[in-house]
Amino acid sequence: MSENNTLLRVEDLRLYFRTRQGTVQAVDGVDLELKENEAMVILGESGCGKTSLSRAILRLLPNNVETYSGKIFLEGLDTMELNDERFRRQIRWFKMSMVPQAAMNALNPVIKVGEQVAEPLLVHKKAEKQEALEQAAWMFEQVGVPTDFLNRYAFELSGGMRQRVALAMALITLPALVFLDEPTSALDVLTQANIFNVLKDIKKELAVGFILITHDIATSSELADTVAVMYAGEIVEVSDARHFFTEPLHPYSRLLMASVPRLKVDQEPTFITGQPPSLINPPSGCRFAPRCPSVFQKCSEHPPTFQVDGRKVRCWLHA
Amino acid sequence: MSSVMSERPQDAPQDIPQSMTTPTTGKEPGQRPELLEVQDLHVWFELKRFGFLHAGYVQAVDGVNFTLREQGAIGIVGESGCGKTTLMKTILGINRPIKGKIIFEGEDLGGLTSRDLQSYRGKVGYVQQDPYGALPPFMTVENILAEPMIIAGITDPQEHEQRIRDVLTEVKMTPVENFLTKFPHMLSGGQQQRIVIARAMILNPRLIVADEPVSMLDASVRVEILRLLERLQETHDLAVIYITHDLSTVRYFSDHIFVMYAGKLVERAEVNSLLRNPLHPYTQALLEATPDPDYKNALTHKELPPGEPPSLVNPPSACRFHPRCPYKIEGLCEVQLPPDFEPEPNHFAACWLYR
């Protein structure tokens, strides 16, 4: 597998929802590119559209969608051209799968976890049951669940173990890309660190790509190769992890980094005043301008994305 | 800014005669009188089979001792299920201990009648974890803040209004008029948490118990809320118990950290001493597992103790961390309960490594 292989390319993706108050522009013109076996973190505060973005790429849409447009290339194939049935048969769980938020609480309580993990194979790959269960046992080993847990029910497992089971379920069909939506937000510190150890192993051994959606900057650095920062429906910065975690470019990313309480470094955290704008009628200029400390005249215009040393930033400061 | 507690002199703690104090620096809480004392506290919940047969106990809090002085701020750190919320609820007088005492301002909580408890709760403010869940959805901000005063028997409507204004100004919900008629769902998460804090402050408490006050909030507002609590603590000479699973926020807020594991306090120390030199193997693991944002994290594996926290129905014998401990001493850790050792001054660890 060559290093420069593009796995996913998203161009000008838009997802608007119809609500009684007006149109919610949850995902507004997002461009992304992800290489094979790369882990990208999408960082953002709640309500910035990061979950909607992942659902737009996976086409898991509610029924109040007003606009759904743009291009999504997965391994070179434009998935937006596929109809829903072909998308379901060819893409979902074959090429891309997802561990949704609070997945550990979404396991079926009356089916043994082993059978649940095997189910995608039975449904999507038409595998024999015995074979699927063997595969499930192998996947349990990969994510660090003892194989004698195969015959247990979800309520017999701890939170960390259930999260691993949800992960095994997303990985069982060996997709090229897995979305992780806040995979550890409900877990304890030690369990969280253990899950990230598992994710690192899996990334190395199964060569999957990850898109990790989170608001937790500190833990996101455990997996990230690239970081995309989302604010009010837009991607405001895309950068490699090394540069992002040492010196972010966008004023929002900088403030976000400064707001993280540090354990090992003596640095007083700061906070960002104000609130993110409503996604119904967002401001016409730069969406961060009302909260930005370095705001200037130009900010009343909507900034395009600028390239700075291979990093992308949507800010007039870097024009 | 007008202060809700302006009747209390700001320099009260300096009135303590020198003979009572330990020779420490001026800002040390060691000089101040004791506010809350927890002695050998055991909170067990009985498990029943078929509704009446005894089936054991959940030993949620098992032998906890500590002292909180006036204006002191302690952070209690532990994972979910370690008993930190039970400890907090017992301090609030919601759970009753089966053994041990909680002494607040010299009075034993166990001896209080329910009427006394009500006035006690006026002195202890409670900041809940999930602000949206903690605020009644059908009440306006004004009504939410008036409720504790009605319960406490404050009837003067002018005093109600004055106190609500003062407290809202203090939590920076200004202009006050804009918020009085709002319902909780009209506020952002940060604003909701401010209302929860305002409600906890409205009866001029001496102690605030905050249970994960920022864990449901976005990163950008967390620090703001913590700063707010810090300022309230300073302006009102409050004592604070801050309960969390997140070590990284504790250091900005508390002067002491207590680490709790499976119902017991395993380490107690002053913040910097604990972070610089964690003694208990569990504290060491917690520190190791808490990341700072750094791209190097993605390149390395963390060395962590295996397994998960034990069930509190049938906890491991003696030291409850021994099944996961990398430094377990055979024949000792699983046999005999470690007492609190003090390898450094004022730094206690319940671990046989320091015998």
pLDDT tens across A89-142, in order?
A: 889 888 999 998 888 888 999 999 999 999 999 988 888 999 999 999 999 998
Asked if A251 and B164 touch (Cβ cutoff 8 Å), the reply is no
**Is residue A160 in some structural domain?**
yes
Q: What pLDDT shows up at residue B168?
A: 94
Same domain (yes/no): A185, A77: yes
Subunit contact B298:A222, Cβ cutoff 8 A: yes
Spatial neighbors of B253 by CB under 8 A, at least 6 apart, are: B73, B75, B226, B229, B230, B240, B242
Mean pLDDT of B231-248: 90
Q: How confident is the model at residue B18 (pLDDT cuts 50, 70, 90)?
A: very low
pLDDT above 90: percentage of residues in chain A: 62
Q: How confident is the model at residue B22 (pLDDT cuts 50, 70, 90)?
A: very low
Terminal CA-to-CA distance of chain B, rounded, Å? Answer: 52
Same domain (yes/no): A133, A118: yes
Shortest Cα–Cα distance, A245 to chain B (Å): 6
**Tokens 């215009």 appear where?**
A301
Does position B347 have pLDDT exceeding 70, yes or no? yes
Q: How confident is the model at residue B25 (pLDDT cuts 50, 70, 90)?
A: very low
- Which chain B residue has its CA at the smallest distance from A220's CA? B293
pLDDT tens per residue across span A51-60: 899 999 999 9
pLDDT tens per residue across span B135-185: 999 999 999 999 999 998 888 999 999 999 999 999 988 889 989 999 999
Q: What pLDDT shows up at residue B297?
A: 87
Mean pLDDT of B243-264: 88
Asked if A213 and A45 touch (Cβ cutoff 8 Å), the reply is no
Tell me how far apart the alpha carbons of residues B279 and B282 are, in angstroms, rounded to a whole number.
8
Same domain (yes/no): A183, A282: yes
**Is residue A196 in some structural domain?**
no
Q: For testing the chain B interface, which of A271, A278, A291, A311 should be mutated: the one with the most B CBs within 10 Å? A: A271
Q: How many domains does chain A have?
A: 2
- Which chain B residue has its CA at the smallest distance from A256's CA? B220
Tell me how far apart the alpha carbons of residues A233 and A245 are, in angstroms, rounded to a whole number.
22
Same domain (yes/no): A83, A216: yes
B-facing residues of A in 233-292 (CB < 8 A) are 241-242, 244-246, 255-257, 259-265, 268-273, 275
Does position B26 have pLDDT exceeding 50, yes or no? no
Mean pLDDT of B39-44: 92
Whether B251 has its CB under 8 Å from any CB of chain A: the answer is yes
Tell me how far apart the alpha carbons of residues B117 and A155 are, in angstroms, rounded to a whole number.
38
Same domain (yes/no): A20, A56: yes
Same domain (yes/no): A145, A81: no
Subunit contact B302:A219, Cβ cutoff 8 A: no
Whether A69 has its CB under 8 Å from any CB of chain B: the answer is no
Q: What pLDDT shows up at residue B113?
A: 85
**Is residue A27 in some structural domain?**
yes
Subunit contact B291:A221, Cβ cutoff 8 A: yes
Same domain (yes/no): A243, A265: yes
Q: How confident is the model at residue A269 (pLDDT cuts 50, 70, 90)?
A: confident
- Look at residues B121, B180, B201 and name the one whose alpha carbon lies nearest to residue B153: B121
Q: How confident is the model at residue A4 (pLDDT cuts 50, 70, 90)?
A: low
**Is residue A195 in some structural domain?**
no
For residues A249, A255, A261, A265, the Cα torsion angle rounded to the nearest 10 degrees is 50
Instruction: Provide DSSP, A183-248.
Output: TTTTS-HHHHHHHHHHHHHHHHHH--EEEEEES-HHHHTTT-SEEEEEETTEEEEEEEHHHHHH--
Q: For testing the chain A interface, which of B297, B311, B321 should be mutated: the one with the most A CBs within 10 Å? A: B297
Alpha helix (H) residue ranges in chain B: 84-91, 114-123, 131-134, 141-152, 157-170, 176-180, 189-201, 219-236, 247-250, 271-276, 281-289
Shortest Cα–Cα distance, A178 to chain B (Å): 17
A308 versus B251: the higher-pLDDT residue is: A308
Which residue segment(s) compose the domain that A37 sits in? 6-87+178-189+204-318
Residues of A in contact with B310 (CB under 8 A): none
Tell me how far apart the alpha carbons of residues A97 and A76 are, in angstroms, rounded to a whole number.
18
Asked if B319 and B333 touch (Cβ cutoff 8 Å), the reply is yes
- Which chain B residue has its CA at the smallest distance from A265's CA? B292
Does position A159 have pLDDT exceeding 60, yes or no? yes
ipTM of the complex: 0.82
Q: How confident is the model at residue B17 (pLDDT cuts 50, 70, 90)?
A: very low
Alpha helix (H) residue ranges in B202-280: 219-236, 247-250, 271-276
Same domain (yes/no): A234, A307: yes
**Is residue A274 in some structural domain?**
yes
Same domain (yes/no): A103, A125: yes
Same domain (yes/no): A67, A110: no
Q: What pLDDT shows up at residue A74?
A: 92
pLDDT tens per residue across span B91-126: 998 888 999 999 998 888 888 888 888 889 889 999
Tell me the CATH number at A67: 3.40.50.300
**Is residue A198 in some structural domain?**
no
Residues of A in contact with B292 (CB under 8 A): 218, 221, 260, 262-265
* Joined tokens for residue A286: 């730069």
Whether B247 has its CB under 8 Å from any CB of chain A: the answer is yes
Same domain (yes/no): A164, A217: no
Residues of B in contact with A160 (CB under 8 A): 308
**Is residue A271 in some structural domain?**
yes
Mean pLDDT, chain B, as a whole number? 85
Subunit contact A196:B292, Cβ cutoff 8 A: no
- Which chain A residue has its CA at the smallest distance from B81's CA? A188
- Look at residues B239, B286, B265, B234 and name the one whose alpha carbon lies nearest to residue B348: B265
Same domain (yes/no): A24, A10: yes
Subunit contact B220:A242, Cβ cutoff 8 A: no
pLDDT tens per residue across span A25-35: 999 999 999 99
Does position A67 have pLDDT exceeding 80, yes or no? yes
Q: What pLDDT shows up at residue B19?
A: 35
- Look at residues B59, B293, B309 and name the one whose alpha carbon lies nearest to residue A187: B309
Whether B287 has its CB under 8 Å from any CB of chain A: the answer is yes
A-facing residues of B in 46-85 (CB < 8 A) are 79-80
pLDDT tens per residue across span B50-82: 888 888 889 999 989 999 998 899 999 988 888
**Is residue A194 in some structural domain?**
no
Does position A180 have pLDDT exceeding 90, yes or no? yes
Alpha helix (H) residue ranges in chain A: 50-58, 84-90, 113-124, 129-143, 159-171, 189-206, 217-220, 241-246, 251-258
Q: How confident is the model at residue B20 (pLDDT cuts 50, 70, 90)?
A: very low
